Structure 1
Amino acid sequence: MGEGVWAISYWELAIRIVLSVAAGGLVGLEREWSNRAAGFRTHILVCVGATSIMLLSIYGFSEFADEANVRMDPARLAAQVISGIGFLGAGAIMRNGFTISGLTTAASLWVVAAIGLCVGAGFYFVSLLTTFVVLFSLFLLNRWEKRFFSVKRRQKLEMNVCCQSGHLGEIVRLMETNGVVVVEMNVDKKESSESEKSDNRVNVHFKLKIKDGDMLVKLVDQLATHPYILSFRQLVSNPA
């Protein structure tokens, strides 16, 4: 390799790769523990890949550093990592009805790529500090958020019910009896098929405020056996 700023020892290269494995793996463990699509190995691969590209961008072309017509730009390949990591993040985001999930996982993939770039550039303090902040956010802030904001979380249910006089009111009273607050209710007749309309069926969208998971499980059990409810879908509002 060349001399000066463009030179790096094999020992230093190995340290940076191992550090990127550790940083990406720590973040990936939390995602694996939460049973997300992108987990332990995916985060390691993203972080190591970003580190390798950063190392390549800085030191991979050192033999051309002394050429008169060559201008070294260590940030060029790194910039492509930042923009290119988006396709992995998009693959982790899924939409199911009213629900969008995977945003936190997509963000964690993006940030481990940034951590990998920092490690590859030898920006150790920032890479370690960022890893700590990410783990603090995913582990501790996640628990704090669930504890203090669970009351504000909304659950959405889509039901196909028998549209007879008093049936819908009875379903609403059942929810309120279980401590569930009906925030919003929309009757959607357009989505019902002709056969459903002839059988007096209707689709109803509920937006509910539920305090905890036990209350939700109890409500779902009762709705599943209710004679006026033909089918329903539970759509959790804010999965990470």
Structure 2
Amino acid sequence: MDAGEASVVLEEISYFEAVLRMLCAMLVGIVVGVERGRNHRPAGMRTHMLVALGACVTMVVSNYLFVEFRPLGATPDPARLGAQVVSGVGFLGAGTIMREGLSVKGLTTAASIWAVACLGLAAGAGYYAIALTGAAAVYATLTVFEVVQRKMNVTRHATLALDLECKDLSGVMHDLNRFSVQQNATLSHVQFDETEERGVYHLTAIAVFRGANPQADQAVFLEKLGGNLNVKKLETTQY
């Protein structure tokens, strides 16, 4: 490409065109961000708008730099800054991921932020159809396919954290395992130690119920465990 060709490219990316691309990126952020904000997620409309807009500006600047320095003999890569956006936006997505007990929340929001950054790059490169179609696809993924996922989810389960004090530790452990098998549950993270009271043990465990009706299995499990005379104290936390 010679200087004449570069100037033609520069004319194509006019100020009006750059503004139009930024508006397209902001629209992409609105489409995705409204859904996240409506569901009270860590990153809402404004966050998604800023991510898309920033990615768009990065791509527009990349194009200008390419056009400006190519006639001088330099060989700049117009996709280099965009590549940094794709990898660098991960820190923002990581900030939306939170661990609450045994569950991890915010993964979908983190993915939507990353996707919006990519769509912003598309808008910044002038690929309006891709940016807007991608925004619609992301919105559909967050709304329509959430319902589909719920209907297709056949691996229903309930998770229960157990915290108890008991006598006859071996007998209680035997009952725990027996009740778990009977009620379609899996025990994990079993820990125990002796309390200050002689012969009394503190025991914690996680029970995951994976039967056809996990809530009912859980209720029966707790009823059986609570009826054990060696269990002095029983506290549970539902996840």
The residue that corresponds to 1:201 in the other structure is 202
Give me the whole-angstrom Cα distance separating, in 1, the residues matched to 2:210 and 2:96.
Answer: 27
Matched ranges for 1:31-180 at <5 A: 31-60=36-65, 62-68=67-73, 70-149=74-153, 151-164=154-167
Deviations 1:140-194 (A, max 9, x none): 1101111231x41323211112335787859x97xx8xxxx5331247234x464
Give me the whole-angstrom Cα distance separating, in 2, the residues matched to 1:120 and 1:10.
Answer: 12
Q: Confirm or deny: 8 A CA contact 1:51 1:117 kept in the other structure.
A: yes
CA drift of 1:3 comes to 2.1
AA matched with 1:89: G
TM-score normalised to structure 2 length = 0.77
Deviations 1:100-142 (A, max 9, x none): 2221111111100000000000011211221111111110110
Structure 1 gaps of 5+ residues are 236-240
Please give the root-mean-square deviation of Cα atoms over the aligned residues, in Å.
Answer: 3.3
Q: Confirm or deny: 8 A CA contact 1:182 1:206 kept in the other structure.
A: no
Segment of structure 1 superposing worse, 152-161 or 23-32: 152-161
* Structure with the greater alpha carbon radius of gyration: 2
Q: Confirm or deny: 8 A CA contact 1:185 1:206 kept in the other structure.
A: yes
The residue that corresponds to 2:238 in the other structure is 234
Q: Confirm or deny: 8 A CA contact 1:196 1:202 kept in the other structure.
A: no
Deviations 1:8-44 (A, max 9, x none): 2222112111111111111111111222111211111
Give me the whole-angstrom Cα distance separating, in 1, the residues matched to 2:42 and 2:102.
Answer: 20
The DSSP-based 3-state class of the residue aligned with 1:92 is coil
Q: Confirm or deny: 8 A CA contact 1:17 1:48 kept in the other structure.
A: yes
Identity of aligned residues (%): 34
Runs of 4+ with deviation above 6 angstroms: 165-168, 210-213
The residue that corresponds to 1:182 in the other structure is 184
Q: Confirm or deny: 8 A CA contact 2:31 2:136 kept in the other structure.
A: no
Q: Confirm or deny: 8 A CA contact 1:82 1:110 kept in the other structure.
A: yes
TM-score normalised to structure 1 length = 0.77
Work out the number of aligned pairs and report it. 220
Deviations 1:49-105 (A, max 9, x none): 10010011112464333213x223210110110111111122222233432222111
CA drift of 1:196 comes to 8.0
The residue that corresponds to 1:19 in the other structure is 24
> Relative to structure 1, is the Cα distance of residues 78 and 158 closer, same or farther in structure 2, using a 3 angstrom cutoff?
same
Give me the whole-angstrom Cα distance separating, in 2, the residues matched to 1:212 and 1:35.
Answer: 29
> Relative to structure 1, is the Cα distance of residues 160 and 67 closer, same or farther in structure 2, using a 3 angstrom cutoff?
same
